[in-house]
Amino acid sequence: MRHEARWLVATVAAVGAFAVPWAALKIVGAGENAVLAFASSASAAALSAGGWWAARDTRSPRVERTWPRRQTEPIVVGPLPREPLGFQQRTELVNAVDQAMQRDLVAVVCALTGVRGVGKTQLAGAYARSRLKAGWPVVAWIVAEEPGQVVAGLDELAEAAGIKGGIQDAELAAAAARRWLEQLEDPSLVVLDNVLDPDEVARWLPRTGQSRTLITSTVRSVSHLGTAVDIETFTLKEAVAFLQETAGGGGDDAATVRGATELAEELGCLPLALAQAAGVIRSQGLSFSEYQRRFRRRQVVHVMRRTPGEPYPNGVAQSLLLAIRQVESGHDAPAVSRVIEFMSLLSPSGVDRNDLKTALAGLEAEEIDRVMGALADASVVSLSLDGTVVLMHRLVQRIVRDRLLEQGQLSTRIVEAATALQSLLDTADARARREAADRGLTDHILALWASAEPLDHETRHALMDLHRAAVNLLVERAEVRRACTVGQDVLAEHERLAAPQDDRILGAKSALAQAYLMAGHYELAVPLREQYVTAYQERYGRDDPHTLDAVNTLGYVLESAGKLDEAEALHRRNLQDSLRVNGPDHQTTMRAQVNLASTLRSKGESEAALALFEQNATDNERAMGADHPSTANARGELARMYERVGRHTESLALYDQVTAHLARTGQDLTLWWGRHQARALVSSGRADEGISQLELLLHRAEQSLGQDHPETVCVRLFLARAHSMTGHHTTALAHFATCVSDRQRILGLDHYETLNARRNLGLALAAAGKRTRAISCLTEVLAHYQRTLPPQHPYTTSARTSLAAAQATPRTLIFRRSTPGIRL
């Protein structure tokens, strides 16, 4: 059973430099390469190695897609901020946004631009809250400051909307969310807050439908994405009104108005600075003039390190620091300082309130809630609409960090924060929490790493384990592209900071290798896994079980990368070593045995592969017993091999044993083995039975997993092949064409999975007698493969063989020939 193995390898083998869980490698040994081998059949390539590629909108031509159309309750995603004290409506700006959003266009985009602190986020928040009041069914708030955060936010939207199903790749879930937004009949709103990379955002904007996207950014070039509304500081009138309403400075007499006016001018009418000043005035009962005198006595500009491109008015740092000092002077002063300093080191996308209570050991929950109230009242932090997320403005974070640096406390606080984040990783319910509530833990880790930039190497050394954990979190959450990018950065930092023999470097290589495996970049994973094996051999010796398992994994990666000869040689040596060290009944030996068999099957060496699969089934039954899961898996792999070589009666008999085992043990593998059993029925001439079974499996998968689940997609593709083999060419072509269209839209024209889908469509066209179209399709696919892959890569050779088959083979044989190394 190869389908689930890749996810286990990708998630568990990255946990440490020298810890490869046996269970994951056991499954790899039992089946992953078999999927690659099964894919060697041109038709069955439809579903190889696997269905793990996650969701595609590959709908059955007979099943209409049912997107949700109207929501009974609004879907609200992300830390949508509450309305702040004394919020100024800024009518002209609100009208400008309304006009932009009401344009008679599809997929409208409006971009709010301006320097930090002018109130872009608050204006966007006000608009989002107004859309909720207007009854819009979807409002999503996504902090888009770091690469990958848009994907994570849309992934969360897909889950909240109930359309994620079993999608295991965050980018594919994000694409599903975008398609869903495009098809909603009612208007929806997505806010992308603090966009720094317009190109990163552009690819995720809905392209059609009634959706509305509101962007906030300091980067003026976002204006090319839609209608731009430039946000300036408050007008003097707005600033004075804000101070009078928020600060409680008293009255509208001439002296009060003059004091508010002078203070507003000194603070540059910047909304953030005014809010901080108002908090101090309100809490201390000061007049505007008294605050201004205090403000002028504080010479704190030097505390703030100026960032290029961010020309803040001179009074911003003073007002912020005065507000922070004010709230730190109260009854809960130690707790306030601890919370402020901790939050200043984390992501500005917000901190889950429960995570704060878990991370800040020694502070009572009630104390933290009391501190949150004081900080929010002083405008040092803000809360999300539902109160579950605490947000601190980036400028507030900067001044707190700079103050810590000036005081020589930054390193200490960073190490303390790292310990706190590690406690979140280590909590008993960490997995459930990460999958549900806190999608920002990776962002917090990376923000903490960035906060240590001005410090020496010693502090960064203390963060290396946590930094590496960020990659593993991304792999676990299936944020594939970001996992690769962050993994590359983490490895580069590890190599810069640590000695070459440091185990942490090897751990970083392992984490990056898992990211590459998940992304399908097997050729990039190969050298990393080779270095891993070398390290195992040096540490444990060639005969240690750890080393044998590491070699086993390397063989799988080599085979996945199309290096079949190297994989075969490696598995042969590993099998010999396992037999010599552990004997024939050890699991390490049987894993090496089945991996070698699978590699031979991928190479088309059916006779040798069959002998090994038979031996593996016999060895498993003798050593593990007839009812052991490993024995059932070995029987299933042998059944697949029997079907491949035309021994249909024996194949179906073994599938019956596997099915009976699943029924006895309650294992949820029916979709996996059931579809292979159905394929054997079709191959044996019992096509009606096989197609009927696949239709039942497809219905079950759609009902229980959703149409986008990888298992559902695999069953549907098996059904397409069955129809093609039995001459139902119209139905088969509809299935294959939908798969090509969806993969091309989601993954791009040149992605290898799109090319594999196009190749199988070409074969289906040939089987249907559409020779000219088939040859044209397969010729284009071969040209794409030749541009992107080595000449002898299995995909390239398979495409070449497929083209030759379409040119010369009778159509009735197109889907009955074996073509090594193909997948869809």
Q: CA triplet 507, 509, 513: central angle to 5 degrees?
A: 115
Cα 657 to chain centroid, rounded: 38
Residues 6 or more apart whose CB falls under 8 angstroms from that of 667 comprise 629, 632, 661
Contact (Cβ atoms closer than 8 angstroms) between residue 10 and residue 786: no
CA dist 300 and 472 (Å) reads 41
433 by DSSP, 3-state: which? helix
Q: What is the mean pLDDT of residues 444-460?
A: 90
pLDDT at 73 over 60: yes
* C-alpha gyration radius of the chain: 30
- For 455-460, what is the mean pLDDT? 86
Residue with tokens 């390539």: 45
pLDDT at residue 303, rounded to an integer: 42
Nearest to 1 by CA among 794, 821, 711, 712: 711
Lowest-confidence pick of 93-102, 131-140, 463-472, 765-774? 93-102
Pairwise CA distance, residues 84 & 273, whole Å: 14
Stretch 422-434: mean pLDDT:
64
**pLDDT tens readout for residues 459-471:** 889 999 999 999 9
554 in Cβ contact with 530 (< 8 Å): yes
Is the pLDDT confidence value at 54 over 70?
A: no
Angle subtended at Cα 504 by Cα 498 and Cα 506, rounded to the nearest 5 degrees: 105
Bridge partners for 391 per DSSP: 382
Sign for the CA dihedral angle at 792, 796, 801, 803 comes to negative
User: What is the model's pLDDT at position 41?
Assistant: 28
What is the pLDDT, as a whole number, of residue 19? 29
Residue 60 has pLDDT above 70, yes or no: no
For residue 21, pLDDT over 60 is answered with no
Task: Please say whether the beta carbons of 714 and 675 come within 8 A.
Answer: yes
pLDDT in tens, 791-814: 777 788 888 988 988 888 555 445
Query: How confident is the model at residue 251, as a pLDDT?
Result: 61
**pLDDT tens digits, one per residue of 141-182:** 999 888 788 998 999 999 888 887 666 778 888 888 998 999
Lowest mean pLDDT among 52-66, 297-311, 347-361, 517-531: 52-66
Among 635-649, 710-724, 751-765, the range with the most confident prediction by mean pLDDT is 635-649
The predicted model gives 422-429 an average pLDDT of 73
Residue 436 has pLDDT above 50, yes or no: no
Q: How far apart are CA 377 and CA 275, in angstroms?
A: 10
Whether residue 311 is predicted with pLDDT greater than 70 in this model: the reply is: no
Dihedral sign (CA 425, 427, 432, 438): negative
Residue 781 has a pLDDT of: 92
Per DSSP (E only), the strands in 331-376 are: 351-352
- pLDDT for residue 104: 67
∠ CA(507), CA(508), CA(511), 5° rounding? 85
Place of tokens 């980067």: 219
pLDDT surpassing 80 at residue 601: yes
Rounded (5°) CA angle 331-336-337:
120
Residue with the two structure tokens 């990460």: 434
CA–CA separation, 28 vs 6, rounded Å?
A: 7
Least confident of 313-317, 372-376, 694-698: 313-317
- In the structure, what pLDDT confidence band is assigned to residue 822 with cuts at 50, 70 and 90? very low
Q: Sign of dihedral through CA atoms 27, 32, 33, 37?
A: positive
**Residue 649 above 90 pLDDT?**
yes
C-alpha 85: how far from its chain's center? 36
CB 199: neighbour CB atoms within 10 A? 8
Residue range 806-824: average pLDDT?
50
CA distance 11 to 476: 6
Q: Which of 100-104, 194-198, 339-343, 473-477 has the lowest mean pLDDT?
A: 100-104
- Choose the most confident range, by mean pLDDT, from 41-50, 475-484, 587-596: 587-596
Q: CB of 252 within 8 A of CB of 270?
A: no
Tell which residue, 248, 333, 338, 231, has the closest CA to residue 287.
248
Number of Cβ within 10 Å of residue 338's Cβ equals 19
Residue 46 predicted with pLDDT over 60: no
Distances (CA, A) of 624 to 468, 584, 587, 629: 37, 12, 9, 9
Q: Does pLDDT of 96 surpass 80?
A: yes
Asked if residues 556 and 6 have their Cβ atoms less than 8 Å apart, the reply is: no
E-strand spans in 70-208? 75-77, 108-113, 138-143, 188-193
- Tokens 């390239």 correspond to 796
Between 68 and 335, residue with greater pLDDT:
335
Q: Return the beta strands (E) in 255-323 as ranges.
A: none
Token duo for residue 635: 């029987």
Question: Is the model more confident about 766 or about 432?
Answer: 766
Please give the C-alpha separations between residue 302 and each of 318, 399, 402, 406, in angstroms, as whole numbers.
10, 10, 9, 10
What sign results for the dihedral spanned by CA atoms 511, 513, 515, 518?
negative
> Which tokens hold the place of 496?
């810069």
Alpha-carbon distance of 99 to 294, in angstroms, equals: 43
User: Which range, 238-252, 370-384, 586-600, has the best average confidence (pLDDT)?
Assistant: 586-600
d(CA 761, CA 739): 9
Residues comprising the chain, all counted: 824
Nearest to 260 by CA among 273, 272, 237, 243: 243
For the segment 303-311, the average pLDDT, to the nearest whole number, is 45
Tell me, what's the pLDDT at 644? 92
What is the reported pLDDT for 809? 58
The DSSP secondary structure of 626-682, one letter per residue, reads TTSHHHHHHHHHHHHHHHHTT-HHHHHHHHHHHHHHHHHHT-S-HHHHHHHHHHHHH
Q: DSSP letter at 269?
A: T
User: Are the C-beta atoms of 716 and 735 separated by less than 8 Å?
Assistant: yes
**What integer pLDDT is reported at residue 521 of this predicted model?**
84
pLDDT surpasses 80 at 511: yes
The two beta strands, 211-217 and 108-113, are: parallel
Task: Check whether 547 has a pLDDT greater than 60.
Answer: yes
Q: How many Å apart are CA 532 and CA 513, to the nearest integer? A: 10
Q: Which pLDDT score is estimated for 12?
A: 29
Question: Residue 747: what pLDDT?
Answer: 58
How far out from the chain centre does Cα 153 lie? 10
Neighbour tally for 240: CB within 10 Å: 25
Q: Would the CA dihedral through 341, 345, 346, 350 be positive or negative?
A: positive
**How many Å apart are CA 99 and CA 813, to the nearest integer?**
62
Range picked from 164-168, 232-236, 522-526, 700-704 for highest mean pLDDT: 522-526
Cβ partners under 8 Å of residue 359, min gap 6: 342, 420, 421, 423, 424
- Quote helix, strand, coil % in the chain, to nearest 5: 65, 5, 30
The burial of 113, by beta-carbon neighbours within 10 Å (0-12 exposed, 13-18 middle, 19 or more buried), is given as: buried
Tens digits of per-residue pLDDT, 675-697?
A: 999 999 999 999 999 999 999 99
DSSP 184: -
d(CA 622, CA 586): 11
- Closest by CA to 367, choosing from 323, 401, 325, 333, is 333
Write the pLDDT tens digit of every residue in 651-678.
999 999 999 988 888 777 788 899 999 9
Please give the share of the chain, as a percent, with pLDDT higher than 90: 32
Average pLDDT score, the chain: 80
Rounded to whole angstroms, the Cα distance separating 770 from 777 reads 11
Share of the chain above pLDDT 70, in %: 82
Q: Which amino acid is at 791?
A: P
Distance CA 117, CA 709 (A): 43
* Listed residue (652, 661, 654, 653) closest to 629, CA to CA: 661
Encoded amino acid at 806, one letter? A
Q: Average pLDDT for residues 46-72, to the nearest whole number?
A: 33
Residue 3: pLDDT band with limits 50, 70, 90? very low
Q: How many Å apart are CA 203 and CA 147, to the nearest integer?
A: 12
Of 134-138, 340-344, 584-588, the one with minimum mean pLDDT is 584-588
